[in-house]
Amino acid sequence: MCKRAITFFLCLAMTICCAIPAFAEDLSTPDDAFPEYPEPESKYLQDAEALYDQALALYEEKTGYSSFYGNCGTFISYQLHELGIDDYLGGYNGNQWYDAYENGETFGDFTALKYESDLGVRTLLNSYESLSYVLISYPHQTGYTDENPGAGHAVLLYHISDGLVYFTESYAMYGQKEGVAHAWEIDRLLDTYESWYGTPIGAVWFSDGTDEPSFIPRPPQDGAHANVSFPDNGILQDIEPGTDVEAFLAAYEAEDEAFLLRTATGEEAADDGIVCTGMILCRITEDEEERLLLAVRGDVNGDGHADTTDARLVLRMAVGLSESTVQSLIIAAGDLNNDGSLTTADARLLLRNAVHLSE
């Protein structure tokens, strides 16, 4: 066996025990990060409150209690029951709900799709024109300390559309009674809940397969980025590592519309930066902003590069030591051999590219 091959396999074996780097946790969002939001739709407010009433009626029938008294886990289980998603009536702790489901698990007409960490949650909520039934699980409870982190919290987002999240809670909020429906901007909800309960463990979206990604853009102008693929899963993939933001956007400009890139936390990407997995390509017209996720080839950790760090992460996922951070997005970035999954073959290809051993 040649010396380079021996070196490669030694490096691959050593990386399996290395720690996985985290995605950036900078959650600051400028006030003008998104356009103005429309008025909330009364239908979604009414439907969210109707779901609360149905869940409470069943809860009162079974227990005799006339309130959920802030018991988020029980409230979640009764809502999912009334929606026909899950028959379980009991209630996990708030920080147990994310792990209660397997990715791809089916329930009647619904499929559980999991999005891990703050990046995963923000990516999900910002990637669709509208979607319903997203469960977010948080690690702590209000007023937590390191010594007493509590049982966590969970909230079911009834519907998300036009940048607004419609939801109810198992406790009174801002002087309003338990079960009143709220309509908050996406970032307001995520930033506020994080300040109360800590960085989210992840979200479970119970999809019925009818929701569509925000938009599928036309190909870039003049054949630029010719190798970029436009699948129907809402992810623009096969972008080369190190692609310049300004050059990338220049290929999309047109007279009647404008494009910009946002980071996963909603900030506008710097023109002198590089495109990263998890960024959002936005098409802005006179009255709306449509969005599409980006996946840079080999960039699994979202820094815009494809290197040995990404190879380590793909290898750990391939052998079951770590779950994908943003399921379909990470597969789109890390599936170098295009077989639809992350395997040790992808880790090997990524590592060979990173250390310039590819032919």
Q: What is the mean pLDDT of residues 229-242?
A: 74
Q: Assess contact for 68 and 178: CB atoms under 8 A.
A: yes
The confidence score (pLDDT) of residue 13 equals 41
Sequence-ordered strand ranges (E) for 232-335? 235-239, 258-262, 280-284, 289-296
**Tell me, what amino acid is at 158?**
Y
The confidence score (pLDDT) of residue 74 equals 96
Q: Assess contact for 239 and 229: CB atoms under 8 A.
A: no
Element spanning 130, H or E: strand 130-138
308-318 helix and 3-15 helix, angle to the nearest 10 degrees: 60
Q: What is the mean pLDDT of residues 281-299?
A: 80
The confidence score (pLDDT) of residue 27 equals 30
Sequence-ordered strand ranges (E) for 235-319? 235-239, 258-262, 280-284, 289-296
Q: Which residues, in sequence order, are CB contacts of 181 under 8 Å at separation 6+? A: 44, 45, 46, 48, 49, 52, 158, 166, 167, 168
Q: CA torsion, points 244, 246, 250, 252, in degrees to nearest 10?
A: 70
Question: What tokens were used for 346?
Answer: 């992808």
Q: Assess contact for 294 and 263: CB atoms under 8 A.
A: no
- Tell me which range, 73-77, 149-153, 329-333, is most confidently predicted by mean pLDDT: 73-77
Residue at token pair 């959650």: 27
pLDDT exceeds 70 at position 14:
no
How many of the other CB atoms lie within 10 Å of CB of 106?
10
The confidence score (pLDDT) of residue 214 equals 56
Cα separation, 171 vs 88, in Å, equals 21
Instruction: Kindly tell me the burial class for residue 359, based on how many C-beta atoms sit within 10 Å of its own C-beta (0-12, 13-18, 19 or more).
Output: exposed
The confidence score (pLDDT) of residue 15 equals 37
Condensed to tens digits (0 to 9), the pLDDT of residues 202-229 reads 999 999 988 765 555 555 655 556 566 5
Band of residue 8 on the pLDDT scale cut at 50, 70, 90:
very low
The confidence score (pLDDT) of residue 355 equals 74
Give the mean pLDDT of the chain: 80
Cα separation, 252 vs 265, in Å, equals 22
Maximum CA extent, the chain: 74
The confidence score (pLDDT) of residue 222 equals 55
The confidence score (pLDDT) of residue 223 equals 54
Cross-strand partners of 132: 159
The region of weakest confidence among 11-15, 73-77, 151-155 is: 11-15
pLDDT exceeds 70 at position 176:
yes
Q: Assess contact for 242 and 304: CB atoms under 8 A.
A: yes
Cα separation, 110 vs 125, in Å, equals 18
Band of residue 1 on the pLDDT scale cut at 50, 70, 90:
very low
Q: Assess contact for 277 and 295: CB atoms under 8 A.
A: yes
Cα separation, 333 vs 300, in Å, equals 6
146-182 burial, b if ≥16 CB within 10 A, otherwise e?
eeeebbbbbbbbbbbbebbbbbbbbbeeeeeebbbbb
Question: What tokens were used for 109?
Answer: 């007409």
Cα separation, 300 vs 321, in Å, equals 15
pLDDT exceeds 50 at position 323:
yes
Q: Assess contact for 214 and 232: CB atoms under 8 A.
A: no
From first CA to last CA, the distance across the chain in angstroms is: 17
Residue at token pair 């699994």: 300
Condensed to tens digits (0 to 9), the pLDDT of residues 141-165 reads 888 888 888 899 999 999 999 889 9
Band of residue 183 on the pLDDT scale cut at 50, 70, 90:
very high
pLDDT exceeds 60 at position 284:
yes
Condensed to tens digits (0 to 9), the pLDDT of residues 83-134 reads 999 999 988 999 999 999 998 889 999 999 888 878 778 878 877 778 999 9
Band of residue 35 on the pLDDT scale cut at 50, 70, 90:
very low
Task: For the full predicted model, state whether its pTM sits above 0.75.
Answer: no
